[in-house]
């Protein structure tokens, strides 16, 4: 691959700043803390670091409510701290991707303060404003992801404004050319500073239906966009997001990035059953996004049919584009907790899962702590900081369980995360999985992550080759990865019981085992509980 195509098949590591490393004892992670721990990230063998928002913000949604796109919130440090982080990352051979939350701002952003002041000022149309219905109710039936209507009444303008998330996160109006120009300009600010790319938060939310038509009810047999306890999943989101006109703005982003060498745009697409088609549409050709990050492997099912169906849909719908796979992130229950049956060892599931992930076709993203096998933390209601979880408790416990601080040193207070009081509790069980404990253990989850990522680097077929599923029965998941004369057989036993796989015509081609292992069972291959193997074919 050329240097401009480094993102194809790359491994990206996600950092959630407030939970990574605190450097000043206030209990919240910060940019100098990230800089301190970059060597750990580099030791995994990853290519890039995605850093969640660190911009100025009231922190109503933990930084996803931006009040100044061009500055660092004092909670996380300064612009000089970011420059130091960027320089150290580049010294270590790591690229830096930053979150860009463009679909909405904080209600404390100067743009919104001016917009809500009157209907005639220069930024009056920079947000989505609409008249009430004659009876005073909201303009349509659109819902907020975080609960309730997607509309909030403003008594100054005597209009409703749209918010796809919290009421304090008003949606920008992408039908207004000046809005698009202003956002492109903020991205240029960070490109000029040297960042290597952007992760575009909720990029299919940029444009709304200008006619404000009601969403129809969803087919309830389809997978909802969010957990079942939230009525947001009851609608088919036909008009409040994923509008065809959005592609024009994505092309503007790509044109901007093309002015710089080797920069990348990774869009986040949460679009329910439409995700494969949306990803295909957003990444096809060379003038849209480079790749898209999806939620499609964030389910609770852990079966061969689950993976075959999801990957198969993307292979069909996004064949001309590029997908970024992840198993966990800062918004969902950690995958070892989702997928480990009661009584089983989550570390074995973690080791299987990382080999499975690196063997998928596409770019992959790791979430901080999964390389230690961290499980979902059980928190009390009193400890919650996530407004989403507080709103839907107890049916939905929110996202704080996957956001607890990283554990660096088992013997240190708060696992070495902070010398102060951490913003979320550090579970005792996590301290036993600290990085310093695992670093010296060749059988640890951390060692398995380093080995799996190294495997992807050693075999181009795993990074960019084709993928073809093979017939398999029971809990066995099997596929081939092939590229330029290199062929790898990938086998996974998604169960706690031994299982066998019949290789059929491939039996005579089976060569060296390059990861995991199997045993001979006549002409079949036997995998132990949670067994996995990557085998070269002659």
Determine whether 376 is an active site residue: no
Query: What is the three-state SS of 164-185?
Result: CCCCCCCEECCCCHHHHHHHHH
Query: Which of the listed CATH numbers 3.30.920.30, 2.120.10.30, 3.40.640.10, 2.60.40.1180 matches domain 465-537?
Result: 2.60.40.1180
Q: Is the pLDDT of residue 227 over 80?
A: no
pLDDT tens-digit map of 316-370: 999 999 999 999 999 999 999 999 999 999 999 999 999 999 999 999 999 999 9
| Residues 46, 13 contacting (CB under 8 angstroms) | yes
pLDDT for the residue numbered 219: 80
Q: What mean pLDDT is reported for the chain?
A: 96
Q: Which of 73, 81, 152, 201 is catalytic?
A: 201
Determine whether 331 is an active site residue: no
| Residues 504, 480 contacting (CB under 8 angstroms) | no
Record the tokens describing residue 45, joined without a space.
């063998």
pLDDT tens-digit map of 19-56: 999 999 999 999 999 999 999 999 999 999 999 999 99
The DSSP annotation for 339-403 comes to: HPPTTS-HHHHHHHHHHHHHTSSSEEEEETTGGGTPPPP---GGG---HHHHHHTTTS--SGGG-
| Residues 203, 269 contacting (CB under 8 angstroms) | yes
Query: pLDDT-derived band of residue 220, with 50, 70 and 90 as boundaries?
Result: low
Mean predicted confidence (pLDDT) in 490-517: 96
| Residues 266, 307 contacting (CB under 8 angstroms) | no
pLDDT for the residue numbered 247: 98
Q: Is the pLDDT of residue 228 over 70?
A: no
Q: Which CATH architecture has domain 3-107+174-455?
A: Alpha-Beta Barrel (3.20)
Domain boundaries, the chain: 3-107+174-455, 465-537
Q: Which of 259, 382, 484, 512 is catalytic?
A: 259
pLDDT for the residue numbered 2: 63
Would residue 369 be called left, alpha or beta, if left means φ above 0 and alpha means ψ between -120 and 50 degrees?
Answer: left
Mean predicted confidence (pLDDT) in 125-154: 98
pLDDT tens-digit map of 405-459: 999 999 999 999 999 999 999 999 999 999 999 999 999 999 999 999 999 999 9
pLDDT for the residue numbered 505: 87
| Residues 52, 17 contacting (CB under 8 angstroms) | yes
pTM of the full predicted structure?
0.97
In terms of Cβ atoms closer than 10 Å to its own Cβ (0-12, 13-18, 19+), residue 266 is buried
Mean predicted confidence (pLDDT) in 102-119: 98
In angstroms, rounded to a whole number, what is the distance separating the alpha carbons of residues 272 and 398?
Answer: 19
pLDDT tens-digit map of 293-314: 999 999 999 999 999 999 999 9
| Residues 534, 489 contacting (CB under 8 angstroms) | yes
């Amino acid at each position: 691959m050329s240097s401009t195509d480094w993102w194809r098949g790359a491994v990206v590591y996600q950092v959630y700043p407030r939970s990574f490393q605190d450097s000043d004892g206030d209990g919240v992670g910060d940019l100098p803390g990230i800089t301190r721990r970059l060597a750990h990230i580099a030791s995994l063998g990853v290519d890039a670091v995605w850093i969640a928002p660190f911009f100025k913000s009231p922190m109503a949604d933990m930084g996803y409510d931006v009040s100044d796109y061009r500055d660092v919130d004092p909670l996380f440090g300064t612009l000089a701290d970011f420059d130091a982080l960027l320089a150290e990352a580049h010294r270590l051979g790591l690229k830096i991707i930053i979150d860009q939350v463009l679909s909405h701002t904080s209600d404390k952003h100067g743009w919104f303060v001016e917009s809500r002041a009157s209907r005639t000022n220069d930024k009056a149309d920079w947000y989505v404003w609409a008249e009430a219905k004659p009876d005073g109710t909201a303009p349509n039936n659109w819902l907020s992801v975080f609960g309730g209507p997607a509309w909030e009444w403003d008594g100054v303008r005597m209009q409703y404004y749209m918010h796809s998330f919290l009421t304090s996160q008003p949606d920008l109006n992408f039908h207004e050319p000046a809005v698009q120009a202003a956002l492109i300009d903020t991205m240029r600010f960070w490109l000029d500073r040297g960042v290597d790319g952007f992760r575009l938060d909720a990029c299919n939310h940029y444009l709304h239906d200008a006619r404000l038509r009601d969403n129809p009810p969803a087919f309830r047999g389809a997978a909802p966009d969010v957990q079942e306890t939230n009525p947001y999943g009851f609608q088919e989101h036909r008009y409040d997001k994923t509008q065809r006109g959005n592609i024009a703005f994505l092309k503007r982003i790509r044109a901007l990035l093309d002015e710089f060498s080797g920069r990348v745009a990774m869009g986040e697409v949460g679009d329910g059953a439409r995700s494969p088609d949306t990803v295909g549409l957003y990444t096809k050709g060379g003038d849209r996004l480079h790749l898209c990050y999806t939620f499609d492997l964030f389910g609770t099912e852990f079966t061969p049919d689950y993976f075959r169906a999801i990957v198969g849909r993307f292979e069909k719908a996004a064949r001309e584009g590029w997908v970024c796979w992840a198993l966990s992130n800062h918004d969902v229950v950690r995958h070892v907790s989702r997928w480990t049956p009661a009584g089983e060892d989550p570390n074995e599931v973690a080791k299987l899962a990382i080999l499975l992930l690196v063997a998928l076709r596409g770019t992959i993203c790791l979430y901080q702590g999964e390389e230690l096998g961290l499980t979902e933390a059980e928190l009390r209601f009193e400890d919650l900081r996530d407004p989403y979880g507080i709103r839907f408790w107890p049916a939905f416990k929110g996202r704080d369980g996957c956001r607890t601080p990283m554990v660096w040193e088992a013997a240190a207070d708060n696992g070495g995360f902070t010398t102060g009081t951490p913003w979320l509790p550090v579970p005792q069980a996590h301290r036993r999985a600290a990085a310093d404990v695992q670093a010296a253990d060749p059988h640890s989850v951390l060692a398995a992550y380093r080995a799996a990522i190294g495997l992807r680097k050693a075999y181009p077929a795993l990074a960019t080759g084709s993928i073809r599923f093979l017939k398999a029965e029971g809990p066995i998941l099997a596929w081939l990865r092939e590229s330029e004369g290199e062929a790898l057989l990938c086998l996974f036993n998604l169960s706690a019981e031994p299982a066998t796989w019949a290789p059929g015509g491939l039996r005579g081609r089976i060569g060296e085992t390059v990861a995991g292992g199997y045993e001979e069972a006549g002409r079949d291959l036997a995998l132990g509980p949670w067994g996995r193997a990557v085998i070269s074919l002659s």
